[in-house]
């Protein structure tokens, strides 16, 4: 509906936008942008009806907005054009120095999406004072291509997620980070230096940190997290899955899995402090541990208050497998270790 391409000193303020059939507001290759006080209400049943897409932009500030969309409320990417457009050879295709604050978001996909395909680096992003409600996924960071997603902080955020059926990507994860191959013949970048502080969540699926051997998650921290993991009426037909859609392999896009409160794999430098996990009406047999970490280096878990799924007698508060450099202040009986050095 609105496209600002290769613009400088842009201000968008105090407007109401509704019923966009596709991306609503696209900022592409812009510098020095202020967006404040807008209401952007799209039909939440319309796919690809993104709210604000920030592509290869620098020095962007967004504040005091109410965004309701069928697709991502915010999508932040560094787009690789694969070719030089005459007259635009100077564009660097990186998104950096972005601040988003004081917004209310609703989305049938990810309320906040960072990264995807055709992806160059996104860095130096601060997101704070956000309410995310009625959403399929809260915060999503997706590495599928070259370039890195780095130096990204989230603070003072409330997240409420629900499981939806149909073709919506996302399975009610309040927080999702994944680094999987989205195309052939590229060297995958990295996700690194990501912080979550003062986050309150109520969700119908667990949190997911999904690195791979070729792109290990680096330096991820959680501090002061409150997570209520609730049952969904759709669990019998749509629960118990990991959703990585938007990846190269269709088989790996959506597959059955046990679901812990927080699952992390292929991560180097994970710190979890002051994390409270509450299970509400757990009933599915695939619910497992409170926190599970696999294939790791340098993991530290302190001040964790929670259990494994109460309906699963084989679940542990914390389970760690195949790694080295694990420290915790939990009692030995609360941690199950397998092949940990």
pLDDT at 70 over 50: yes
For residues 275 and 222, the answer to whether their CB atoms sit within 8 Å is yes
Kindly tell me the burial class for residue 87, based on how many C-beta atoms sit within 10 Å of its own C-beta (0-12, 13-18, 19 or more).
Answer: exposed
Per-residue pLDDT of 18-46, as tens digits, reads: 999 999 999 999 999 999 999 999 999 99
Per-residue pLDDT of 266-296, as tens digits, reads: 999 999 999 999 999 999 999 999 999 999 9
pLDDT of the residue at 118: 77
Q: What whole-number distance in Å separates Cα of residue 39 and Cα of residue 16? A: 5
Provide the token pair at 167: 């073709």
pLDDT of the residue at 87: 52
When pLDDT is cut at 50, 70 and 90, the band that residue 91 belongs to is low
Per-residue pLDDT of 180-219, as tens digits, reads: 999 898 999 999 999 999 999 999 999 999 999 999 999 9
For residues 201 and 156, the answer to whether their CB atoms sit within 8 Å is no
Q: Number of C-alpha atoms within 13 angstroms, CB side, residue 204?
A: 23
How do the domains of the chain map onto residue ranges?
1-102, 109-340
Q: What is the pTM of this model?
A: 0.95
Are 1-102 and 109-340 the same fold in CATH? yes
Per-residue pLDDT of 115-156, as tens digits, reads: 988 788 999 999 999 999 999 999 999 999 999 999 999 999
DSSP state of 107: E
pLDDT at 84 over 80: no
DSSP state of 56: S
Domain 1-102 has what CATH class? mainly beta
Query: What is the chain's alpha carbon radius of gyration, rounded to the nearest angstrom?
Result: 20
pLDDT at 339 over 60: yes
When pLDDT is cut at 50, 70 and 90, the band that residue 83 belongs to is very low
pLDDT of the residue at 81: 55
When pLDDT is cut at 50, 70 and 90, the band that residue 92 belongs to is low
Other CB atoms within 10 Å distance of the CB of residue 82: 6
pLDDT at 112 over 60: yes
Other CB atoms within 10 Å distance of the CB of residue 294: 17
Span 109-340 CATH architecture: 3 Solenoid (2.160)
When pLDDT is cut at 50, 70 and 90, the band that residue 79 belongs to is confident
Share of the chain above pLDDT 70, in %: 96
To 5 degrees, how large is the angle CA 222–CA 286–CA 177?
A: 30
């Amino acid at each position: 509906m609105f496209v600002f391409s290769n613009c400088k000193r842009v201000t968008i303020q105090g407007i109401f936008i509704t019923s966009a059939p596709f991306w609503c507001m696209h900022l592409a290759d812009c510098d020095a942008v202020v967006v404040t006080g807008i209401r952007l209400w799209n039909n939440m049943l319309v796919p690809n009806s993104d709210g604000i897409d920030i592509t290869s932009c620098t020095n962007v500030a967004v504040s005091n907005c109410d965004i309701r969309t069928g697709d991502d409320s915010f999508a932040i990417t560094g787009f690789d054009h694969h070719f030089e457009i005459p007259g635009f050879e100077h564009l660097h295709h990186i998104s950096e120095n972005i601040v988003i604050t004081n917004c209310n978001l609703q989305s049938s996909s990810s309320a906040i999406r960072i990264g995807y395909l055709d992806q160059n680096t996104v860095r130096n992003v601060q997101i704070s004072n956000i309410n995310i409600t009625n959403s399929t996924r809260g915060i999503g960071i997706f590495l599928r291509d070259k370039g890195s997603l780095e130096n990204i902080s989230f603070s003072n955020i409330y997240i409420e997620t629900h499981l939806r059926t149909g073709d919506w990507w996302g399975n009610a994860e309040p927080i999702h980070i994944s680094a999987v191959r989205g195309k052939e013949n590229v060297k995958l970048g990295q996700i690194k230096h990501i912080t979550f502080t003062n986050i309150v969540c109520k969700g119908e699926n667990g949190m997911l940190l999904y690195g791979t051997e070729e792109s290990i998650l680096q330096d991820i921290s959680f501090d002061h997290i409150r997570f209520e993991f609730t049952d969904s009426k759709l669990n019998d037909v749509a629960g118990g899955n990991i959703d990585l859609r938007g990846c190269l392999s269709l088989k790996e896009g959506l597959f059955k899995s046990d679901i812990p409160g927080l699952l992390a794999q292929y991560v180097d430098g994970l710190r979890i402090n002051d994390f409270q996990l509450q299970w509400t009406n757990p009933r599915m047999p695939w619910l497992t541990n409170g926190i599970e970490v696999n294939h790791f280096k340098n993991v530290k878990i302190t001040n964790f208050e929670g259990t494994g799924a109460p309906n699963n007698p084989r679940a542990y508060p914390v389970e760690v497998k195949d790694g080295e450099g694990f420290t915790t202040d939990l009692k030995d009986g609360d941690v199950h270790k397998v092949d940990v050095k």
